Each structure stands twice: as C-alpha cells, then as structure tokens.
A and B are shown apart, each in its own frame.
Chain A
Amino acid sequence: MLEIEDLSKVYPTGTEALKKVSLTVDTPQVVTIIGPSGAGKSTLIRCINRLIEPTSGRVFLDGTNVVILGRRELRKVRRRIGMIFQEFNLVERLTVMENLLSGRLGYVGFWRTYRRKFPRADVVAAFRLLDRVGLAGYQNTRADALSGGQRQRVGISRALMQQPDLLLVDEPTASLDPKTSRQIMRLLVELAHERGTPALVNIHDVGLAQSFADRIIGLAEGKIVFDGTPRQVTAQVLTRIYGEEDWSTTIRKVDENGEADTKKGSSKRKDTLDEEAATG
C-alpha cells in the first residue's frame, strides 16, 4: 500500500527534517507517529503527497513512485490521499456541503465544480457522511459558524469524500479539548477501519496515540527510533524518542485497561475515567 524508502528532506535553511526515513504500511492499519516538535512529523506526511517536496528518496503508493510524478499525475495521486489538518483548514466562508464536495475537486470537471453541480452520487455520499459523523442537517451552515469538534468532523468528511486509499492526518486533536479529542480520534479510527483505509496520524498526545493506534512510530531528529505496538511503548522507548523525563504518569497502564478501546468501539466507563484524568 504505502512504501517509503530513504526519504530525506533538507530545507533551504539547512535544517535536515528527515534523514533517510524508510517505512512500510501494508495493511489497513492506523499508524500514529509520535515525536517531539521539530522531529519531522509534519514534514514526513507532507512529503507523501508532496505538499512539501522531498529532497531525495522514494514514496510508493500502490506501486507508483509519487516523488517523480509530473503535476497532472501528482494531482491524480493526491485525490487518492485524504488529508486532515490540525487547524481543520476548512474554507471558512463556504458551507459545510461545499467543503465536503471540495473533496471531489480532483474528480469533477472545472465548470461543474464552478456551478456547484456535482454528480448526484457525490451529493448522496456527502449526506451519508454528514449523517455518519453526526452533522446531519448542517449542510447549509457556513464553516465559520461551527465549533472546533464540528469543524474537524467536516475536515474528516472532506477527506473521506475523496474515497482515499490513504489518510494523512496532521495533529487532528491539537486544537481540541480532551473530550472532543477522544471523540474525534475514535471517529477517525472507526472510519478508517470501516473503510479499510490505512491512516498515518501525527499526534502529540502519547496517551491518545496508545489508546487508538494499531501501531506506533517514534520519530526523533528526522529518524525513526521506534516502530511497534502501543503495548511496546515503555518509559525507555519514550526516553529514546523525547529524551529523559519521568514518564510514569504518561504511559497508559495497558494491563489495567486491557486492549486499546478502538477494537470494541466505545466503552463509556473507561472514557469517563480518562476524562477525569485529563481534567483533574
């Protein structure tokens, strides 16, 4: 599905954001990428759809090397990659429906998009998604009238409207409160599993990453320093990723809480506990 080989990025300032990163995602799994600020998390996922041009290396999506594509082919690949952002990045003055339909921009011709005449199937799909993410009835609300959590639901829906083969998710919860963060992460992971779409999720919150991920990758100074299951994340691992610190309160007590709650969907009792932990 996704194969990254020796991917490097050097910014014009001389900063080496990525140093020969190699990574394979071959099953529809949710992979969270954790690491300190400046470790190269954002650069990594933006190099996959080339919003940032990598300096060297190869990125294969279903066998196609994305890095060498021309502009037209790149746009074709981009429409197969859904992207979700920290600041949601909705076009604020457009309605929820228009934002959702903008996920189809790569598929529908210019004049149809200009006149907002999208294929019937796209509009139906949009209504279904709105219903699924809990925003039924919001289609004509302008994006700037929504709350943070609602905006991120629109952001997720827009990405899914592309019927992507891969989801790139950049800090989806960093602008949200703890409760909304959990809800958004759960929705994201459920949708990724429902549709069998692999997702690469950058995330700051180690606890959230452990709760919802199938696999965790630790990035430090542009290199992958950990790749394993949420259970394998120990204090030593976190020290390797972030540096020396007292990690005893950060790590989820996997033995007490059992498996991450994504597999069974929501488990209310544990949620309330986590909320207390987050707010108290």
Chain B
Amino acid sequence: MNASARPQAEGSLQWHRIRMIEHPLIRYGLTVLAIAYLFWSVGALDIDWSRMAAGLPRAKNMVVRMIPPDFSRTQLLVRGVLESVQMALIASFLGMILAIPLGICGASNLVPKPIYLIARTFIILSRTFHEILVAILFVKIFSFGPLAGVLTLTVSSTSFISKMLAEDIENMPSGQMEAVRATGANFPKLLTYCISPQALPRYLGVSIYRLDANLRHSTVVGIVGGGGIGQVLAASFSRYDYDFSLAIILSIIALVIVGEFFSSWVRERLR
C-alpha cells in the first residue's frame, strides 16, 4: 500500500467484470459472425436430409440381421481376440522400453538443449498423426497382418509414455537432483538414485493405462488391415455377415471391459 493512497470518493469506486474482448461492438460482432458461419457451413456441405431418411430403414434391416449374434465360428473369434491381446502386450512392452531413453532425453532439466529439442521433435511428430494414418502407412509398407498393427501401436505407445515420463521428470523438484549431484554422483547414478525412484510409480501407471488403451486401439487398427479382431470385424462387415459382426463387437466390448478393470486394479495398487 502506497502511503499517498487516500480513501477515494464513493462515486469513483466502480467495478465491472473484465471481459476477454473489451469493446462491445467487436464482441457482439464476432458472435454474430460465428453463428452466421455455422449456418453457412451447413448449407455449403450440402447435407442431404433425404439420405438421412433413406438410411433409417437400412439401419433397421442391419440390426434385424445382426440378431441373434452368431458365435458359431468360435475358432476365428478366439484367434482374433488373442491376436489383439498379443498385439497390445507386445506394443505396450516395446513402448515402455523405448520410452525410457526418449523420455529422459525429452526432459529439459536433464539433458542439453539440442538433445532435448531432437527428442521433443520426435515425440511431437509421432503424436501428430492419428493411429489410423500410421496404420495405413505401415499396412502399405509391411502389408496386411499383425506386424503392421504392432508397429503402429508401438509408435503411439512410445510417444505417449515418453511424453508423460519427460513431463514427470521436468516437474520434479530440483532440490533432490541437486542433492544427489552434490554427493559427486554421475549421470547414471543420478538416474538410479533420484529420477527412477521418483518417476517409477507414474511411469508404471501410465504404461498400464497404455496397455488398456492399446487393447482398444488394436481393434481399430485391425479395421484398416493391422491384424487382430478388428481385421476379422472388417472382413465380416464386407461380407454382410452382420450376425457374426455383432458377435465380434460383443467380444470386443468384453475385452475392453476386462482390460479396463485390470488396468484400474493394477494402478490402484501402484500408489
């Protein structure tokens, strides 16, 4: 408080909320423009309402043909589910391993600037493209099957886990690192005596979450040809085997629920 500040006259004590855009004309003008653009977009996209109407009976037909689900091709179903699980496991494991060096290099408080920038660029680039795009690319390169799927999920797991790890390390209080450095410890010892014990629970938690996510994503990756139950699903749709499709969808739901439960059960124990 400034010594010269005196009680002000009642009239000058006014307050109004601070708005993001102060000028009322600009504020309302922008709102009107945004709404106008929304309406124009609907028109420009040429959305055909009659098609919507025509789709409804087709949807009904599909649902009717789906019921009851056909679980008779058990072998195909089980093999697909198992393949998805294996893909998720392998990809998560590879992701966990690859994320350690990448995550450490992506922590600005641990490594020199150039290494940090390279690692972060790598992480950002692999996060830029949606898994489907990466999967399509890998299917083109390595052809149909689980190899392409595993590679896709490995890329996304690595970038996800390493980003989390890097951020976790950056948020560590600097004092503990300072203390361990002050004992004369070199970089590997700093990693094992400070970074690793402090980052481990979250790293494991994120990895388990990623395993769960990979189970879900493996089904989607399969649809574009990356192997697993998703590929079986895509095949059944293209053959109009809707009752088999429903059986697959129900299996996927069961798989995802089991994965979810497993993941939250493990993470609860990691605290």
Contact = CB atoms under 8 A, between A and B. Distances in A.
A155 B180 CA distance: 11
Given A105-B189, A113-B193, A89 B175 contact: yes
Nearest to B190: A105
Nearest to A77: B184
A94 interface: yes
Contact of A105 (B176, B183, B197): B183
Determine chain B's interface SS by DSSP, over half rule. helix
Contacts of B197: 91, 93-94, 98
A93 B271 CA distance: 11
A162 interface: yes
Contacts of A110: 186, 188-189, 192
Contact of B182 (A83, A91, A93, A94): A83
Interface in B19-68: none
Contacts of B189: 105, 110, 113
A212 interface: no
A91 B180 contact: yes
Given A91-B197, A105-B189, A51 B184 contact: no
Report, as a range, how many residues of chain A touch the other chain: 20 to 34
Nearest to B198: A93
A85 B175 contact: yes
A90 B182 CA distance: 12
A92 B183 contact: no
A102 B185 contact: yes
B176 A158 contact: no
B258 interface: no
B121 to A, nearest CB: 25
B200 interface: yes
A102 B183 contact: yes
Given A85-B179, A87-B175, A110-B189, A93 B184 contact: no
Contacts of A92: 176, 198
A83 B179 contact: yes
Interface string A73-100: 0011111111101010111111000100
Contacts of A107: 184
A35 interface: no
A104 B189 CA distance: 11
Contacts of A168: 182
Given A90-B176, A92-B176, A102 B181 contact: no
Interface string A209-221: 0000000000000
A207 interface: no
Interface string B186-214: 10110011100110110000000000000
Interface in B202-229: none
Nearest to B199: A93
Nearest to B192: A114
A211 B247 CA distance: 81
A155 B184 CA distance: 15
A106 interface: yes
A255 B176 CA distance: 42
A40 interface: no
Contacts of B194: 91
Contact of B180 (A77, A80, A93, A102): A102
A46 B178 CA distance: 10
Contacts of B192: 110, 113-114
A149 interface: no
Interface of A: 49, 51, 75-83, 85, 87, 89-94, 98, 102-107, 110, 113-114, 155, 158, 162, 168
CB-based closest 3 A-B pairs: A106-B184, A79-B184, A89-B179
Given A89-B178, A110-B186, 7 more contacts: A51-B178, A75-B184, A85-B175, A92-B198, A105-B193, A113-B189, A114-B192
12 contacts: A51-B178, A76-B184, A78-B184, A91-B176, A92-B176, A93-B201, A94-B193, A102-B183, A102-B185, A105-B183, A105-B184, A158-B183
